[in-house]
Every structure is written in structure tokens, then in C-alpha cells.
Amino acid sequence: MNWRAVQAIYTFEMARAYRTLAQSIVSPVLSTSLYFVVFGAAIGSRITAVEGVSYGAFIVPGLIMLSLLTQSMANASFGIYFPRFTGTIFEILSAPISTTEIVIGYVGAAASKSIILGVIILATAGLFVPLHIAHPFWMLFFLVLTAITFSLFGFILGVWADGFEKLQIVPLLVITPLTFLGGSFYSISMLPPFWQTVTLANPVVYLVSGFRWSFYEIADVDVSISLAMIGLILGACLVTVWWIFKTGYRLKS
Amino acid sequence: MAPVISVSNLSKTYASGFRALKNVNLDIARGEILALLGPNGAGKTTFINIVCGIVKASEGTVLVSGHDNVTNFRAARKEIGLVPQELTTDAFETVWATVSFSRGLFGKPPNPQFIEKVLKDLSLWDKKDARIRTLSGGMKRRVLIAKALAHEPQILFLDEPTAGVDVELRKAMWDTVRRLRASGVTIILTTHYIDEAEEMADRIGVVNHGELILVEEKRELMRKLGKKQLVLQLHDTLDALPPALASHKLELAQAGTELIYTYDTQGERTGITALLKDLGEAGIRFKDLHTTQSSLEEIFVNLVKRPT
């Protein structure tokens, strides 16, 4: 393993986040705080507790998941897309590094940023609502695994995109709606039976449900199914990344 | 000595069907400067990109110090530094950060003293903390060279390194190339400035339509393909060549004040003695004479004009 190369990519990407601190950390924290103010304090006070958990506290895992998914994708996709856009990717492709090392560097940095962000949002949430984490280990496990999975997804997106518009399309038009409709702000048991069934086709439901279970031991689907779903998405992403490097798709002509 | 780069039967056909390289075979000796000449789109950059691992070959193999650049890519690529044709640099990084990044990418431990030396050699030291987007085009070109040298490569590819840079910087770059060559680094460069190849290279390769038309020692190439001309400045203006001199295929130039005789340096006889004798017999006097040799540029133009 060329760990120095992994470290170089990782450090480079983390430095980029530091340079764009307002965009990387402050902006997501601010928008999450606004969600707490609007949904938690203003509207939440009129909504009764969900399965014994106050509405403000109930939405915390969903809000963290929302930021985790969008930021993991944004960080990883931009991280690999920008060198492709500027042409500096030549250096990565001509360096003595394997595909695994490239992925560890970019995805590792993107996932790290998202995890740090997730922890900051969790701490911010603690200022608004009383927090209870029933299973800290599983909470971290879900946090890390989701960050890695969706950073891989973002990496794929960054390789696939051939313009800034495409880079934005999937997070804005697919992931954000799926997250909003994936039980971030409600339990799917609140939906009519037909929509409960439809919602189960949304993979984000399983992520939010499992993550929420680690906080409050309440879940829309069994936690083992949530874990299996993350594993499935992770596996699909790994296979796609393997295929990208094997074929050189959009990287090597 | 075993070649530092050995290319066998290398071909590249892009997805569009365009054949960028056709069965290229080339051995490059350690420590030499090889200049690849060829018109735009000839396949020079494709060749470099395949050797460096950026483009996949359709057929053929590339050995770098005996290591296959696909199956043993780590060992092969470690030796190579590449300065690309385009000014592809980061925008928001500092010079120091981007050069250090390159060193790390090639698996080398940090060595601030070495980076400092590279930056000083390229007159970039006072810009080390500047963000790259604030630099001029010439400075960015230097940054690319610094990045390529950051991991102490034994082979350096320079893909048109002096395109669009001013005379002073060009000279500074060639000084750097000479220093590197003196330290044993093998250099492969492409250039549109044929005078540079003529001045710098040990060997010249000419690429046209994806084929390596020839690779030759520069001196040998110029000797083989170079034509020499004897220019005689006449004492009295001539209106036409006397019939007695027709066999010499002379050219009357400069409104009848110059006679030009073209001869082959490779020929057994140059015919100069006979020409001078015939000129004397014809009563043609001359006040001065000099010889000229074809430049590499003329040789190159003649080569790529040939039907392939």
C-alpha cells in the first residue's frame, strides 16, 4: 500500500474543507439549526410526542441523516469531479497508486468531513432538545457506515458527471426528496397504509429508521433490515467503483 | 545498457475509431534527451500519456526500467515525472502545498529541503506561499515542472513545456533540463520549437499520423538528411546561366548576383572541385562564398510532407 499517497489525498481534501469552512461546516450547521427552530420549536410544540419522544428530539436523527447523506455526496463528488474538470486528475492517474488507495483517500476524507459534521449537528441539537442515545456504539456505527456508503456514492457521481449541473442533479432531485420523504420528520406509521407500503421502496427510510433506533429504540423497520439495506447500498457502490476503475470509465480513455 | 524505456508494438485506437498510434517501437537510453517532433494530432501526447499510465494502450507493451507499466505500474510510475502540455494546476492551493502533494502522491517521505531546492532552481521560492491562481502562465508552467520533479524522478516527460512562455523563461527551463540531464535524468520532450530540439536533444524521433517515422541521433539525422548549399556571390551580374554549367544544376538567385549549388553531404563526390573548375573556365568570377546546411526544421518539414 502507498499510504503516503493516501495521506496526501486525504490531507489535500481535508485542507480544502478547512479553506471553505463556511461552506463545509457553518452552512450545514446553520440550516440544521433553522430546521430545529422551525420544526422543533415553532411547529413541534403543536405536535404531540411520537412514541414517547418529543417531536423536537424525534427529528434529530433524521436531520443528522439528511446532512450526512447530502454532505457525504457533495464532498466526495466534488473532490473527484474538480480534478477531472481542471485536468489535474492526470497526476492521480500517473502516480504509483492503486484504485483502492485513490478511493480510500477521497472517500475517507469525504466521510471524515461528514462524520465531523454529523457530530457537530448532534452537539448543536443538544442545545435545542434533550438528547438520549440508547445505543452509542450502534449510533456511531450507523453514522460511519452511512457516511462511507454515501461518500462512495458521491465518488461515483463525481466520476459520472460531465458538468456541474449533473453534479447537482442527483443530490437535489433524488437524495433530498428521498430524505424528506424517508421519515426524517415523521414516523411512517403516521402515513395512510398505502403510502406506508410505497415509502418502504425508499432506501433512506431504512437508514433513518436504523439511526433513530440507536437513539430512542423506536424504528419503522427492524434494525437488522436497516443494516442489511446499508450493506446492500455499500456493496452496490463498491461494485460500481470497482467497475469504474476496471474499465477506466470517464477516467482513462 | 538496457533501455530505460522500451516500447513494443504500441497502438492506440480511441473509442471514436481514431487510430492515434500505430505499432510504435522505441527504446530510450538512460540519461539521453529524446525530442519527439510531429505536427498537431500526430500522436505525441497519446504516446506520452500511455507511457505515464493516463491512457490505456489498445495493443503493445511499455517497460520502464524493465517493469511493465500495467502489471507492475507502481515500480514503473515511480520513476516518471510528467509535465503536461496544458496548464492544469490547482487554483486555490499554494505553490508549496501543491508541490508537496505531488511528492506524497508518489510515496516519497516529506523532504522540505528538497522541495525548497526545486522551487529555488525554478525561481519559484518567493512564490511558495502564493495561491496558484494568482500566478502568471509562465509561473504556472514552472509550478508544473516543480510538481513533476518533486518525487525525484529518473525519467522526465516534458510535453511542449515551452509553449506560450517568454524567451527568458524558455532559457531558464532549458537550463533546468541541462542540469537534470547532467544528474542522469532521462528526458523525453515534445516541442514545436524545432530549434530547441536541435539545440537540446541527443536523438530526434519524428511522429506523423500515429507512426514513428524515424528515430535517429540528431547529428546523424542532420548528416543523412541534411543538404548543404554552396552560395557564390558573383563579381558581375549574370542574366542567365551559361550552357556549359547546365550539368551542375545551379540556381541563379538574388537578381543574378548569386549562384547556389546544392549537394549531398553523403555523396562520394560533392562536385565542388569540378564546379569551381568549370566556373573558372566559363570566366565567372566571384567575390565571396559560403556554405549553409539545412536546419532541423527543413528536415522535419520534408519528412512529414512525405506520403505515408
Boundaries of every domain in chain B: 5-222, 226-305
Which CATH number, 3.40.309.10, 3.40.50.300, 2.40.30.60, 3.30.390.10, labels domain B5-222?
3.40.50.300
User: What does the pLDDT average to over B77-100?
Assistant: 90
- Distance from C-alpha of B104 to C-alpha of B115, rounded to nearest angstrom: 12
B71 touches chain A (CB under 8 A): no
pLDDT value at position B226?
Answer: 66
**Is the pLDDT score of B308 beyond 60?**
no
- Distance from C-alpha of B239 to C-alpha of B241, rounded to nearest angstrom: 7
pLDDT value at position B90?
Answer: 83
**Is the pLDDT score of B258 beyond 60?**
yes
**Is the pLDDT score of A48 beyond 80?**
no
CA dist list (Å): B125 to B96, B122, B172:
9, 8, 15
- Distance from C-alpha of A107 to C-alpha of A77, rounded to nearest angstrom: 9
pTM listed for this prediction: 0.82
DSSP character string of B101-170 = HHHHHTTPPP-HHHHHHHHHHTT-GGGTTSBGGGS-HHHHHHHHHHHHHTT--SEEEEESTTTT--HHHH
The verdict on a CB contact (< 8 Å) between A88 and B54 is no
Least Cα distance to B79 among B65, B98, B100 occurs for: B65
Residues of chain A with Cβ-Cβ distance to B70 below 8 Å are none
User: What does the pLDDT average to over B117-124?
Assistant: 90
**Is the pLDDT score of B293 beyond 80?**
no
User: Which one is predicted more confidently, B87 or B149?
Assistant: B149
The verdict on a CB contact (< 8 Å) between B101 and A94 is no
In degrees, rounded to 5, the angle at the alpha carbon of residue B137 between the alpha carbons of residues B132 and B140 is 40
pLDDT band per the 50, 70, 90 thresholds, residue B102: very high
- Distance from C-alpha of B171 to C-alpha of A71, rounded to nearest angstrom: 48
Structural contact between residues B91 and A83, judged by C-beta atoms closer than 8 angstroms: no
- Distance from C-alpha of B49 to C-alpha of A146, rounded to nearest angstrom: 37
pLDDT value at position A142?
Answer: 94
Q: Using CA of residue A44, residue A48, residue A49, residue A50, what is the dihedral sign?
A: negative
**Is the pLDDT score of B250 beyond 60?**
yes
Give yes or no on whether B5-222 and B226-305 have one common fold.
no
List the grid coordinates of B259. 549562384
Taking the domain B226-305, which CATH number applies? 3.30.70
pLDDT value at position B307?
Answer: 57
Mutation site, A7, A81, A91, interface B, largest B CB count within 10 A: A91
List the grid coordinates of B169. 523563461
pLDDT band per the 50, 70, 90 thresholds, residue B266: low
**Is the pLDDT score of B150 beyond 90?**
yes
Please state, as a whole number, how many other Cβ atoms lie within 10 Å of the Cβ of residue B246. Answer: 9
The verdict on a CB contact (< 8 Å) between A94 and B77 is yes
Lowest mean pLDDT segment, chosen from A66-75, A144-153, A179-188, A220-229: A179-188
**Mean pLDDT for all residues in chain A:** 88
**Alpha-carbon distance B83 to nearest alpha carbon in chain A (angstroms):** 9
